[in-house]
Structure 1
Amino acid sequence: MEQRIGSSSQPLEGAGFDPAYVPGLTSPGSGEAEDAKPADVEAADADEPTVPAEASEEAEEAEEAEETAGEEIPDGPVFEASDRRARIVADHRGVRLSLDDQACEFRWDEIGAVETESPRFGKRFTITVHTPDRRWYPIEIEATSRASFAEWDEQLDAVMDKYFEDESPQTVEEESDL
């Protein structure tokens, strides 16, 4: 007995598979992949030199340095911690988290709380940024030693004391009486 490898059924066509398919009104597809480029676009791309990922990262860092060079950086505490994948920076602009190729930035007025957690065992220090709309964004930084945890806590506390304004209900009531 001979068995075939693979499916013997044909791919589905029509409205059951593609809701936009209307017989007689739409033309059939060209058979090319949707992300295929025309030959003239490919030729134009071949003329442009390719930039390695490291060079593009350096260009982004240079642009960021130019942006910060234009704005006046106040003297104040800065907290920065990173490992091979994750990075956190807290300074006068707010808190910036990045993990691999993903990044997010929170201004100080967008932050409800910042929570730190050091494990009983292990070397992963967790920092969680909470927003007023009850969302939280945790990031874990792997420390070289457990001694870094106390140092990081002190540095982050100094930044929080300087830039984070926690409005207590009493302060808000006093302002509304004025």
Structure 2
Amino acid sequence: MEQRIGSSSQPLDVPAAAVDPAYIPGLTSPAPAEPEDAVEETVPEEAETAETEEAETAETEEAETEEAASDEVTDEAAEEADPDGPVFEASDRRASITADHKGVRLRLDDQECEFRWDEIGAVETEAPRFGKRFTVTVHTPDRRWYPVEIEAKAKAQHKEWEAALDEVLDKYFEEGADEEDPAEESAP
């Protein structure tokens, strides 16, 4: 019995494969064949323009309605928030953390992220035993966390930062929990 040594596949026609990737078998799915008796549908141009105008009008009305609703929500949120409340700000040459009535904003180099208070599950701080790096980690309800490290000028600054951040968290982050506690206590 004779056997061939080497590959059993045939070489491809390289110029055709370079121009049309569909030439390579198995690379793309075959195009569905159209039945020969298929008839093209033609739509008059006037009908197309009327449908397009109706769609644009509907989109414009929806956008205006959404914008009005978002303005109302923004106004209500601005009334509820206390812009004169406590603010925590810490930064070094690369990173910064800001926590105020709007939420928590983290920045590291050219990357920024902002969390509203309702998007935050927990805020964790860590001050190492040795060193000057102060770490703030924002945890979200969907099990993601965003840490930022800030280098303090002196290790004593960590206590100041923790106290200031605790004050902001007590004011804004704990508000929802305080409102729920009385309802739980009144239940039998």
TM value normalised by structure 2: 0.53
Where does residue 122 of structure 1 map in the other structure? 131
Where does residue 157 of structure 1 map in the other structure? 166
Could you tell me how far apart the structure 2 residues matched to 1:160 and 1:92 are?
Answer: 10
SS of match in other structure, 1:174: helix
Could you tell me how far apart the structure 2 residues matched to 1:156 and 1:146 are?
Answer: 16
Aligned partner of 1:167 among 177, 184, 188: 177
Where does residue 136 of structure 1 map in the other structure? 145
SS of match in other structure, 1:119: coil
Query: For 1:6-59, what per-residue CA distance to the aligned partner results, in whole angstroms no more than 9, with x for missing partners?
Result: xxxx9x93457xx68x9xxxxxxxxxxxxxxxxxxxxxxxxxxxxxxxxxxxxx
SS of match in other structure, 1:171: helix
Could you tell me how far apart the structure 2 residues matched to 1:137 and 1:176 are?
Answer: 37
Report the residue type matching 1:130 in the other structure.
H
Could you tell me how far apart the structure 1 residues matched to 2:177 and 2:88 are?
Answer: 22
Report the residue type matching 2:181 in the other structure.
T
Where does residue 117 of structure 2 map in the other structure? 108
Report the RMSD for the aligned CA atoms in angstroms: 3.2
Shift of 1:175: 8.9
Could you tell me how far apart the structure 2 residues matched to 1:129 and 1:142 are?
Answer: 18
Could you tell me how far apart the structure 2 residues matched to 1:110 and 1:176 are?
Answer: 28
Q: How does 1:67-82 map to 2 (within 5 A)?
A: 74-82=83-91
Could you tell me how far apart the structure 2 residues matched to 1:78 and 1:173 are?
Answer: 29
Report the residue type matching 1:154 in the other structure.
A
TM value normalised by structure 1: 0.56
Bigger share in helix:
2
Shift of 1:161: 0.8
Larger radius of gyration: 2
- Could you tell me which runs of 5 or more consecutive residues in structure 2 were left unpaired when the two chains were aligned: 1-13, 31-77
* Identical counterparts, % of pairs: 68
Could you tell me how far apart the structure 2 residues matched to 1:86 and 1:126 are?
Answer: 11
Could you tell me how far apart the structure 1 residues matched to 2:145 and 2:139 are?
Answer: 4
